[in-house]
Copies of this chain bind each other. A is one copy, B any other.
Amino acid sequence: MENFTFYAPTYFAFGKDTENDTGKYVKRFGGSRVLLHYGGGSVIRSGLLDRVKKSLDGEGVSYVELGGVKPNPRSGLVYEGIDLCRKEKVDFVLAVGGGSTIDSAKAIAAGAVYDGDFWDYYEGKLVEEALPIGTVITISAAGSEGSPDSVITKEEGMFKRGATGEAFRPKFTIMNPALTQTLPAYQTACGITDIMAHLYERYLTNTEEVEVTDRMIEGLLLTMIHEGPRVIADPDNYQARANIMWAGMMAHNNSCGVGRTQDWTSHNIEHELSALYDCAHGAGLAVVMPAVFTYTLEHNVMRFAQAAVRVWGCQMDFADPKRTALEGIEALRNFLISIGMPKNFAELGAKEEDIEKLAHTCCYGDVNTGTVEGFATLDQKDVENIYKLMVF
């Protein structure tokens, strides 16, 4: 295990009706003038936004509103939010929605107190200062509710990039699993896939002897395998949604990623797909992961065999561990298909003729410099080959 620091000071209020305490938590964490940031119709239609406003009103917390966050959130709205925060002297940013809304809120919170262009943070500058952030989440997926990360797409060039820093950790997060019950099955499945990707990206490590985090990741993956099909079969299953929601947070607050190198190759390769085709991030990951894992398998066969046996219940082939490893990857693919995820480029809406461009942007975009560094080191040719594995 490598040396590390871990600090996850987000306050979580979990369970039924907890959104009615939003105002109380904003106040506890120092907010008096809030930017209320959200996406589109669903938080309005469901009445959630009204309940949150009522709770703010009840505590005498004032707010200005900025809706309109889209999946794969864009830089344009971030700039708008930053201006609004400055003009309205906002001291707290509250995101009501999913990962996109939270990520957009984080970008605004950092930009509002930064003299330069907020995009600097998405080109590698560490986020050390931001307005305090709170979240009321409506989908289990991104893990952004407990993480120091944010991903934004720059409209000019359609670059999708991440920023990180402790100032991005929400002060509080309200997690009511019932709020996710109205999600379409497809979005629920995308969320499940994203959570599983966050786990696999940590699992695929080059650090040896990290049993504790291996076992935690395996436990969380087993939870997804247990609860995923239950919630797809019965969208009103509160208990399944509750288990998925807590697993989603634990998957990404890094308590199971500490002290080990991490992969993030699948996220890197997927980001180009959702940036170009505007497909759902989770759907992209469902197509990307089996391809990446198959391609990088030889880098450490035993690691994939371990996942196959411990997570997917495969029998170890002691004479041919690679067969077991591949069986585990196939089990993952079949699981994702079973919950309604696409399996290839065609189902995702991606085009074979774009592969060279996708691979080039991935390797030479404004962050990477010729290779994708992760579990294995990949150059543009490798990334092209991986995209090709998604065409079948």
Contact = CB atoms under 8 A, between A and B. Distances in A.
Interface of A: 1-16, 18, 177, 208-213, 215-216, 218-220, 222-223, 226-227, 239-240, 242-244, 246-247, 250, 255, 258-259
B218 A258 contact: no
A11 B5 contact: yes
A7 B240 CA distance: 23
A246 B258 contact: yes
For A8, A13, A18, A239, which residue has the most chain B Cβ atoms within 10 angstroms?
Answer: A8
Contact of A220 (B9, B212, B242): B212
A227 B246 contact: no
A207 to B, nearest CB: 10
A222 B227 CA distance: 22
A384 to B, nearest CB: 37
A127 to B, nearest CB: 17
Give the 5 A-B residue pairs with the shortest CB-CB distance, closest first.
A3-B15, A9-B9, A219-B219, A215-B219, A209-B239
B239 A259 contact: no
Contacts of A6: 11-12, 14
A243 B246 CA distance: 23
Contacts of A18: 3
Contacts of A15: 1-4, 259
A259 B242 CA distance: 10
Q: How many copies does the complex hold?
A: 2
A223 B209 CA distance: 11
A18 to B, nearest CB: 7
For A4, A18, A215, which residue has the most chain B Cβ atoms within 10 angstroms?
Answer: A215
A257 to B, nearest CB: 11
A56 to B, nearest CB: 19
Nearest to A146: B6
Nearest to A14: B4
Contacts of A14: 3-6, 258-259
Contacts of A13: 5
B258 A216 contact: no
Contacts of A11: 5-7, 9
Contacts of A259: 14-15, 242, 246
Given A4-B14, A246-B259, A215 B222 contact: yes
Contacts of A226: 211, 215
Nearest to A221: B215
Contacts of A16: 3
Nearest to A173: B6
Given A8-B8, A15-B259, A216-B216, A1 B211 contact: no
